[in-house]
Amino acid sequence: MNNFTRSGILFVVSAPSGTGKTTLCSNVRQTPDLVYSVSCTTRPIRKGEKDGTDYYFLPRGEFEKRIKAGDMLEHADVYGHYYGTPKGPILEHLAAGRDVLLDIDVQGARQIRDSQDPSIRAALADIFIMPPDLGELRRRLEGRGTETAAQIDKRIDAANAEMADWKSYRYTILSSSMEEDLIKFRAIIRAERYLSRRLNLSHG
């Protein structure tokens, strides 16, 4: 009898702010066979967020200590606050054959692609979500009502720069409705799980 096993896949998802990435990842993470990697940040906690669920909220000094110790898979200073991903838990999940979902910006994705860790390089499947256009993105950001006009302008400028990075990703989802984006996302997850190179065959 043939028994197939595989190591875990690291699904890295990036998109400009306002594209709906957080909502999309929230829907995908309901899948029981996917582990959501909780990032660390030094930004203040927002209303409705929970420490350890949305982010691990850390003091700046603690975050910098972890960077120096090499405990972060990636990190970036975004709008004056650090964001980053703890490396240890991800490596443990991948080694145990569990798939990990990571929601990060293009800077972080770039660092992961440049990782020298062979486990990370073999596991990586990165996905970019491309917004319809900058006008639609501005409408979505204004609709959130969480940022000032100046902050929205800053995010639009950043989005323009981030969108130029799409070709660096293995997959690009052209964003439409949340339902369609979710179907595309799940199709990518299924395809990656059936890649021959991810499977190990043992004869029972």
* pLDDT single digits (tens) 112-164: 999 999 999 999 999 999 987 788 788 888 887 778 888 888 888 888 888 88
What pLDDT, in 10s, does the model give residues 20-65? 788 888 888 887 789 999 999 999 999 999 999 889 999 999 999 9
Q: What integer pLDDT is reported at residue 84 of this predicted model? A: 94
Question: How many angstroms separate the CA atoms of 168 and 67, rounded?
Answer: 25
**CATH, range 2-37+97-203:** 3.40.50.300
CB 61 within 8 A of CB 42: no
pTM of the full predicted structure?
0.84
Closest residue by Cα to residue 75 from 49, 55, 99, 45: 55
Q: What integer pLDDT is reported at residue 1 of this predicted model? A: 57
The burial of 109, by beta-carbon neighbours within 10 Å (0-12 exposed, 13-18 middle, 19 or more buried), is given as buried
Question: How many angstroms separate the CA atoms of 65 and 142, rounded?
Answer: 36
Could you count the other beta carbons within 10 Å of the beta carbon of residue 66?
Answer: 17
Q: What integer pLDDT is reported at residue 204 of this predicted model? A: 59
- Of 17-26, 67-76, 176-185, the least confident: 17-26
Closest residue by Cα to residue 9 from 116, 71, 96: 96
